[in-house]
Amino acid sequence: MKKIISLLILVPILLSSFIIDDKTCLEVKGFLLDAKDKKLDKVNVSLMENGKEIKNMEAKIPFKLELPRDHYYSLVVTKEGYLPAVIMVDTNVPKTHDECGFHFEFHYNMVPENNTYNKEFIDFPAALVKYTKSGDEFVISEKYNTHIKGLIGANK
């Protein structure tokens, strides 16, 4: 009985995080929100590298990713009723960081489906995450995100 209870406790924790390997450089915690900044309950998250899916899961919000250094990932987030969001994550950091240990938390407002959007830009990445030397941290480009939402007509 104790094993069953332990399993019931661990399964939701395991379902809400990706651990790629034991050499984590960047821990990403993602909060996906609706247009009114309300946290969504569950989303589907696919982690892609070089056009291939590495992991796929249905995740509670917030979800967690643990990623190694010096890789480019596409994080594809889907939720019924919303446009898919592709979030590009660049884990390249200077070699002077022997042990990375970076933590990054982001909030992303999913865009509700709408037939009036400019379909030409829907497949572009919705957000970019990368390391900046100036702050010695990972950041998400809010300017880029706003620009893409403007191109598809979601900022109206």
pLDDT, averaged in runs of 10, over the chain (156 residues):
44 43 81 92 94 93 93 94 92 85 91 82 87 91 85 76
The continuous run of DSSP H or E covering 127 comes out as strand 127-132
**Euclidean distance between CA atoms 97 and 41, whole angstroms:** 35
**Euclidean distance between CA atoms 143 and 151, whole angstroms:** 12
What DSSP designation does 41 have?
A: S
The pLDDT assigned to 6 comes to 43
CA dihedral (5, 55, 141, 68) positive or negative: positive
The pLDDT assigned to 102 comes to 94
The pLDDT assigned to 156 comes to 55
User: In the chain, where are the structural domains located?
Assistant: 2-152
Question: For domain 2-152, which CATH number applies: 2.60.40.420, 3.40.50.2300, 3.40.30.10, 2.60.40.1120?
Answer: 2.60.40.1120
Does the bond joining 12 to the residue before it have cis omega, within 30 degrees of 0? no
Q: By the 8 A CB rule, do 88 and 111 touch?
A: no
